[in-house]
Structure 1
Amino acid sequence: MSSTGALPGWLKPANRVVKALHRLGLPTGTIHILTVPGRVSGEPRSTPVSPLTVDGRRYVIAGLKDSAWAKNARAAGRGRLSRGRTHEDIALIEVGDPATRKAVMTAFPAQVPHGVQFFLRIGVVDSAEPAAFGAAADKVAVFEIRPVAAPSR
């Protein structure tokens, strides 16, 4: 799937459980559900993500930059972020600036500590240290989350 690594076998079943908990209104930790239209089918595709905030802006990280959800987010440029039964329509803008990607990755271990093992297991980083995450910024896709203005009447 990526030169960085492959997704672990436990991920799909774990994602199903997390999505089911959210549908029941029981969010877990920092996890939200990101739903974007499929780039081929247009059908909604959902995946658990953990948004983080750096310098007042919100971001999500795709550990494998060519994962299906990252490709769908790039193609659509929009989506819906849900936490339990709360939903927000959003724009997704891929971050091209290396310094911003590095800052977001460096912040990840402190803001999303339960996500560190995922990055270690897929081989994106070799240590849980923030500096190791910052150094891996070119191996991942980072998307800025921006609110979508409500339509005017």
Structure 2
Amino acid sequence: MTETRYLKPGKSTNVFNELVAKLTKMGVSLLGSRVLTVVGRKSGEPRSTPVNLLTIDGVDYLVAARGETQWVRNLRAAGQGQLRVGRRDDTFTYRELGDDEKPAILRAYLKRWKFEVSAFFEGVDAKASDEKLREIAPGYPVFEIFTK
């Protein structure tokens, strides 16, 4: 059995996330930020966190840079979620990408948010080979988003 990759956020990250979530809810999207809301798999209560929505050729993706996060586990259990910016609240379903599909998405994600997420990729950057990105892909869940 392989160990699941998960990097737990620290206190400073939680403070930053709260600020980003407030701004995003007010309609100020920071480089594509959205507030993701998913029903908790254990509590049944809505859980929210800011995420970076990546759009490539008109297709939207969510990348879990910290690995098997709570939002990833909740999304898989719920089968759908909501993405909010300002007053706009889009319900979505998803398709989780297989590891062989991830290199181009991970590369684009690293290009767009290098300053914010590079620490979660342990030395791998947007210039990495497809082979290297495929090697790390199992630790980074990626979801293609379909808004309803």
TM-score in same-fold range (> 0.5): yes
State the Cα distance separating 1:9 from its structure 2 match.
2.9
In the TM superposition, 1:1-150 aligns within 5 A as: 3=5, 5-95=7-97, 97-117=98-118, 120=119, 122=120, 124-131=121-128, 134-135=133-134, 136-148=136-148
State the Cα distance separating 1:40 from its structure 2 match.
1.1
Which piece of structure 1 moves more, 130-139 or 49-58?
130-139
Q: 1:25 to 1:107 in 2, by over 3 A?
A: closer
Structure 2 residue ranges without an equivalent (≥5):
none
| Structure 2 SS opposite 1:126 | coil
CA-based RMSD: 2.3
The TM-score with structure 2 as length reference comes to 0.82
| Structure 2 SS opposite 1:50 | strand
| Structure 1 SS opposite 2:11 | coil
Structure 1 residue ranges without an equivalent (≥5):
149-153
**Equivalenced residues, count:** 143
- Take 2:55 and 2:6, find their aligned partners in 1: how far apart are those partners? 25
- Take 2:60 and 2:101, find their aligned partners in 1: how far apart are those partners? 12
State the Cα distance separating 1:6 from its structure 2 match.
3.4
State the Cα distance separating 1:55 from its structure 2 match.
4.8
